[in-house]
Amino acid sequence: MKGFLCEDTIEGIFTGIYDAWASGMETGHENVRLFLIRQYEPELFFEYEEVFPDADKAEKVARAIRKKISGEAFRRVYRTAMSSQPDRADAIYRFLMEGFRYKEDTLRMLQLPAVGRVFELARKVANEAHLFLEFIRFEQLKNGVLFAAIAPKSNVLTLVAPHFEDRFSGENWIIYDETRALAAVHEALKPYVLARLTEEQAGIFLDRNKENDGYTDLWKVFFNTIGIEDRKNYRCQRTMMPLWYRKHMTEFL
């Protein structure tokens, strides 16, 4: 058995798929598996090979998915790659084995375990990203930049940033994923970019040294007074807004 160890990025996973596919063409795809570096446990009878991200290989895989299966298949694969589940790289590989065989019909074949797994992972990521569109809370820094910190389970930053790029196109803002030390940085009227922040850089934003413009306190007062005491249902509230989302929500700080 051959195991390919890939980096936990979309480029890293797609590069791993490219190299694994070439190996599978010779030894059989069932004898090949993908693992994420630092997220796997060595197994007996496996020969491991580390894969280094290659933009050209990753682009070839992305183009093949769009052309040979469909654009919707690529969107599901992308969301799956953003999942927090350790088997996501291998799940995509198994899905593509079916996808390149059944083409556009693949997405309707949920009875196939590989297709069902990608559907499940992609749906969870999409649902989490959708909730963060509602739960992200911006605070104003002293320099006027809007800053929001999140700690998502999945890597949803590239799924939520385009929404705010359109919604707040004229603002300077930063959305910081503290789980991955990754930030979406938007300069007014320009496309957002992704940037890795060091611990020191992140600390500058996370020290709560924000500009007090009154809106933060106003929002807290509104949240605490708008509800009807006799109709409060904390169980329902936790269902609609799970506790782990609230770490960076203004009204719960």
Share of the chain above pLDDT 90, in %: 71
Q: Write down the pLDDT at residue 5.
A: 96
What residue type is assigned to position 23 of the chain?
S
Residue at which a domain ends, from 128, 148, 179? 128
Averaged pLDDT of the chain:
92
Which is higher by pLDDT, 192 or 240? 192
Shared domain for 217 and 152, answered yes or no, is yes
Residue at which a domain ends, from 69, 93, 128? 128
Shared domain for 70 and 166, answered yes or no, is no
From 56, 38, 213, select the one nearest 142 (Cα to Cα): 213
Shared domain for 71 and 150, answered yes or no, is no
Residue at which a domain ends, from 104, 128, 152? 128
Q: How many domains are there within the chain?
A: 2
Tens digits of residue pLDDT in 236-251: 888 888 888 888 888 8
Instruction: State mean pLDDT over 105-134.
Output: 97
Shared domain for 124 and 7, answered yes or no, is yes
Tens digits of residue pLDDT in 193-209: 999 988 788 777 776 55
Q: How far apart are CA 24 and CA 155, in angstroms?
A: 29
Shared domain for 233 and 211, answered yes or no, is yes
Shared domain for 227 and 184, answered yes or no, is yes
Shared domain for 28 and 76, answered yes or no, is yes
Cβ pair 24, 32 in contact under 8 A? yes
Domain of residue 84, residue span: 2-128
Q: Write down the pLDDT at residue 44.
A: 84
Shared domain for 112 and 145, answered yes or no, is no
Give the residues across from 149 on adjacent strands: 176
Judge whether residue 210 has pLDDT over 70.
no
Cβ pair 77, 118 in contact under 8 A? yes
Shared domain for 8 and 121, answered yes or no, is yes
What is the enclosing helix (H) or strand (E) of 185? strand 182-186
